[in-house]
């Protein structure tokens, strides 16, 4: 079987990353932003694993991606808690309303 090569995976990762960034930049829904973050992390993960397979990174890449997955779960939990708190206080999840500290 011929190899797809590293570039293909990296491009997919880049697309994921960019989508995530756009998601973060455009969504007014707090949870939407969270999803954007997840996309960005996944883009990074994909890069890690691809490098792990195709370059000298070796298992380090896989382990790093494992750590990223676990930390992303933690991040999601905290972010969700914050979102719920925010919702409790503002009765909406629109992050544009989160401007209480604006000078």
Partner 1 sequence: MSPDIYIETGTTLKWLLTTAWLLPLAGFLIEVFGGYWSGRKSRAAAFLAVGCIATGFVCSLIALLTWLDAADLNVSDIWQNPRAVAAATHEVSEATHVDHEHDADHAADAEHHGDHEHAVPAHSEEEHHGHAAHGNNPLKFAFNGTFYTLAKFGRIQITLDYYIDGLTVLMFTMVTFIATCIHLFAIGYMSDELTESYEDHQVHLPGGKHFHRPGRFYRFFSFLSLFCFAMLGLVLAGNIFQVFIFWELVGVCSYLLIGFYVERKSASTAANKAFIMNRVGDFGFLIGLMILWTWFGTFQFANTNPDQTGEQGLFQMVRTDAGAIETEGEGLNRVAYMQSATGEHLLGNDGQARRIPYWLLVVAGLGIFAGCVGKSAQFPLQTWLPDAMEGPTPVSALVHSATMVAAGVYLAGRFFPMFTPEVLLVIAYVGAITAFIGATIALVVTDIKQVLAYSTISQLGYMMLAIGVGGWLAGLFHLITHAFFKSLMFLCSGSVIHGCHHEQEMTKMGGLYKKMPITCWTMWIGVVAISGLAIPITLPYLGAISFSGFHSKDAIIASSLSFSTLNPTHSLLFFIPLITAGITAFYMHRMWFMTFFGKPKDHHVHDHAHESPWVMCGPLLALSFFAAFCAVGGESGPLANLLLTSEPTHVAGGVQAAGELGLTLPSHHEIHECHSQAGMMALLAALMGTVVAYLFYCKQAVDPALVKARFESAHRFLKSKWQFDEIYDSMFTRPVHVVAKWCTGFDREALDRFLHSCASLAVGIAQWDRKFDEAVVDRIVNVFGEVTYAAGRTLKGVQTGRLRQYVMFIAAAVVCLFVVLFLFLPR
Partner 2 sequence: MESLLFTIYALATCGAALGVVLSQNVARMAFWLVVSLGCVAGLFFMLNADFVGATQLLIYVGGTVVLLIFGVMLTASGPFNTIKSEPAEMIQAGVIGIALLAILIPTVTSVDWVGNRDTLSHAGVKSPSGEFNQQGEGGTSRHIGAALLGVRVDQADASAPSEAHEHHEADHDHGHEHAHGEEAHSHAAHDHAHAQVSETNQASGYLLPFEIISVHLLVVLIGASYLARAKRRVEQPTS
Task: By CB under 8 A, name the one of 84, 99, 100, 101 that touches partner 2.
Answer: 84
Q: Name which of residues 36 to 95 contact partner 1 (CB under 8 A).
A: 95
CA–CA dist 103, 101 (Å, integer): 6
Interacting residue with partner 2 among 12, 101, 102, 103 (CB under 8 A): 12
Q: With CB cut-offs between 5 and 8 Å by kind, which of partner 2, partner 1, none does residue 82 bind?
A: partner 2
C-beta closer to partner 2: residue 72 or 99: 72
Neighbour count for residue 71 (Cβ, 10 Å): 11
Residue 103 binding result from partner 1, partner 2, none, given CB thresholds of 5 to 8 Å by partner type: partner 1
Determine the Cα–Cα distance for residues 37 and 68; give it in Å rounded to an integer: 12
Please check whether residue 91 is in contact with residue 78, taking contact to mean a CB–CB distance below 8 angstroms: no
Instruction: Kindly state the smallest distance separating residue 101's Cβ from partner 2, in Å.
Output: 16
The backbone torsions φ and ψ at residue 73, rounded to the nearest 5 degrees and listed phi first, read -60, -45
């Amino acid at each position: 079987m011929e190899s797809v090569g590293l570039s293909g995976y990296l491009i997919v990762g880049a697309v994921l990353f960019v989508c995530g960034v756009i998601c973060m930049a455009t969504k007014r829904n707090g949870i939407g932003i969270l999803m954007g973050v997840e996309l960005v992390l996944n883009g990074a993960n994909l890069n890690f694993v691809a490098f792990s397979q195709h370059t000298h990174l070796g298992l380090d890449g896989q382990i790093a991606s494992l750590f990223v997955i676990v930390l992303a779960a933690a991040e999601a939990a905290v972010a969700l808690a914050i979102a719920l708190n925010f919702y409790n206080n503002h009765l909406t999840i629109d992050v544009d309303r989160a401007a209480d500290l604006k000078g």
